[in-house]
Each structure stands twice: as structure tokens, then as C-alpha cells.
């Protein structure tokens, strides 16, 4: 299979034609090999517009949704970005081709290590991973210019809002365990935020003190 051709076709047919216009996002999606982030048995489906299962009962998001979230985050080349729910590491890898530094949190240690190894193999050296509760953010590295949450929450965790820089953008799926609405929150001041809602999405749930409980 010609993965480069499949990747270019994915960007044109599934992402650009569906309305993603940010040239930085489109170029990053063309650059990062999604086939390197899926399970061995799923490589032939790597460039289809579907979420795919990975280890620990998690998923790698469909390409269009990754692109839509990154476009909503309005990443700039000097930005510091936090991704919550790193999973395979794919979205963090794409973000790293646009932003200066990406910090990525994953609840499952095995996924954290696998993602770290993938990015090391690709020689993407501006992403830092850790295992932890993503709903608490990464206070030691805050503030962030953008925070992208790749898992659904019942409500927006307060620590994530407070770890935004002034003007920072938080993109997060909010709703029930089965269906969420993609929300974009912009920090306008110390205590003021602006929110707008985007498309309906469906993510695995975020487990943490500020999100879903493990037994939910």
C-alpha cells in the first residue's frame, strides 16, 4: 500500500473537502504517518475517515475530527499546547508539526510509553508525555496557549480553564458518555471566558477527578 498517496488522498477527500481551511493543519496532516499510530492489524484502514481501536479499550480519533479540533485551537508556531487523552500519540504528533511544544497526558501507562516510542522513532522531539489524570491538567507547565481534550467530559474541568493563558483556547467534547458537543472556550481575562459550540462528536470518556469516575 502506498501510504503517502493514501495520506494525501485522506487530506483532500476527508478533510479539505469537508471545510478544514487552515493550511498549517492540512500540511501537518499530510506530514504525520497515521499508519504508524494504529494497531498492526488496522494499517490498511489507517487513512479511512474512521476512529480505530487501540490498546486499553481506547481509540485513535477519525482524521477529520483531529483536524477540526486543531483548526478550532488556532495553533501558532510559538504556542505551547497541552493534549489531554493522548492515546496513540497521533493528535499530539500532528499538533507538534505546527506548535513549538506539546505536552501530552495519558491515563494508561502502556499507551504513554507506546506513544513516546512512536514519536521517538519519527524523531519528533518537541512532545513530552506523562501518565496521569488529564482532568487536572499539567499545572507545572501552565499556562498553555491551547488545550485539546481528546476524550469526552460531563462538564468542563475547572483546572483546564485556569491553565489557559489569556487568549488561550480550550477545545473539548462535553456531554454524555455516548454523545458530546465539541466546545471551544477562549480565556478573555483572569476570570472571563467565551464559549461557543461546534459539531456533535463521540469520544471515549475521560476518567479523572474532574471528569468521569472509572466505574461510571
**Which residues are known catalytic residues?**
61
Cβ atoms 170, 150 nearer than 8 A:
no
Contacts of 34 (CB under 8 A, 6+ apart): 7, 10, 46, 47, 60, 63, 90
Q: How far apart are CA 20 and CA 202, in angstroms?
A: 19
φ/ψ of 146, rounded to 5, equals -150, 145
Question: Which ranges of 52-195 does DSSP label H, i.e. alpha helix?
Answer: 63-73, 90-96, 109-122, 158-162
Cα(34)–Cα(167) distance, rounded to whole angstroms?
31
Amino acid at each position: 500500500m502506498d501510504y503517502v498517496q493514501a495520506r494525501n488522498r485522506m487530506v483532500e477527500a476527508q478533510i479539505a473537502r469537508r471545510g478544514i481551511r487552515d493550511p498549517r493543519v492540512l500540511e501537518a496532516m499530510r506530514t504525520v504517518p497515521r499508519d504508524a499510530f494504529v494497531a498492526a492489524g488496522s494499517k490498511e484502514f489507517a487513512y479511512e475517515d474512521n476512529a480505530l481501536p487501540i490498546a486499553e479499550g481506547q481509540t485513535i480519533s477519525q482524521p477529520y475530527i483531529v483536524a477540526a479540533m486543531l483548526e478550532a485551537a488556532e495553533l501558532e508556531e510559538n504556542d505551547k499546547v497541552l493534549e489531554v487523552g493522548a492515546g496513540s500519540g497521533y493528535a499530539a504528533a500532528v499538533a507538534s508539526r505546527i506548535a513549538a511544544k506539546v505536552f501530552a497526558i495519558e491515563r494508561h501507562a502502556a499507551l504513554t510509553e507506546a506513544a513516546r516510542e512512536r514519536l521517538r522513532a519519527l524523531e519528533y522531539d518537541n512532545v513530552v508525555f506523562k501518565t496521569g489524570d488529564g482532568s487536572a491538567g499539567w499545572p507545572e507547565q501552565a499556562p498553555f496557549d491551547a488545550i485539546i481534550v481528546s476524550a469526552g467530559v460531563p462538564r468542563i474541568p475547572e483546572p483546564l480553564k485556569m491553565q489557559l493563558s489569556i487568549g488561550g483556547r480550550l477545545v473539548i467534547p462535553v456531554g454524555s458518555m455516548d454523545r458530546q458537543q465539541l466546545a471551544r472556550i477562549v480565556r478573555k481575562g483572569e476570570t472571563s471566558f467565551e464559549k461557543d459550540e461546534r459539531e456533535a462528536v463521540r469520544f471515549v470518556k475521560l476518567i479523572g477527578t474532574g471528569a468521569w469516575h472509572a466505574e461510571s
